[in-house]
């Protein structure tokens, strides 16, 4: 009864200062981009990062949703069902990932 991933990648949910993604134990793919995003986000002391199950109900309550995969990178979700989502957080993660890549 949990959302594990999207058809094209790993799911991240943002609610306030909490970022949540399903744990590998729930059956989601161990994506390369998922791991990179988690590493970057864990460095931000102002964020709470959770690897925990996500219910369909939580999707409707989220401030933002985004999907990660190695081909597209980070893809913000702007609408799901009747709910519109912001994209600012996902865009900031894209900036952080790009900065990390430049430093390699």
Tell me how far CA of residue 12 lies from CA of 77, 80, 100, in angstroms.
Answer: 10, 14, 19
99 phi and psi, to 5 degrees? -65, -40
pLDDT digits (tens, 9 = 90+) for 16-51: 999 999 999 999 999 999 999 999 999 999 999 999
Asked if the model's pLDDT at residue 53 lies above 80, the reply is yes
Q: Provide the 10 A C-beta neighbour count for residue 48.
A: 12
The CATH class of 10-98 is alpha beta
Distance CA 8, CA 41 (A): 21
Domain boundaries, the chain: 10-98
Q: Provide the 10 A C-beta neighbour count for residue 32.
A: 12
When the pLDDT of each residue in the chain is averaged and rounded to a whole number, the result is 93
What predicted TM-score, i.e. pTM, was given to this entire model? 0.92
Local confidence band at 104 (pLDDT 50, 70, 90 cut-offs): low
């Amino acid at each position: 009864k949990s959302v594990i991933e999207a058809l094209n990648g790993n799911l991240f949910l943002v609610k306030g200062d909490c970022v949540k993604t399903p744990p590998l134990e729930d059956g989601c793919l161990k994506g390369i981009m998922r791991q990179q995003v988690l590493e970057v986000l864990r460095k931000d002391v102002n964020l709470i990062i959770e690897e925990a199950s996500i219910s369909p109900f939580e999707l409707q309550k989220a401030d933002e949703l985004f999907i990660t995969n190695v081909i597209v990178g980070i893809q913000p979700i702007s609408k799901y069902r009747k709910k519109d989502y912001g994209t600012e957080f996902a865009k900031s993660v894209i900036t952080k990932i790009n900065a990390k890549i430049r430093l390699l």
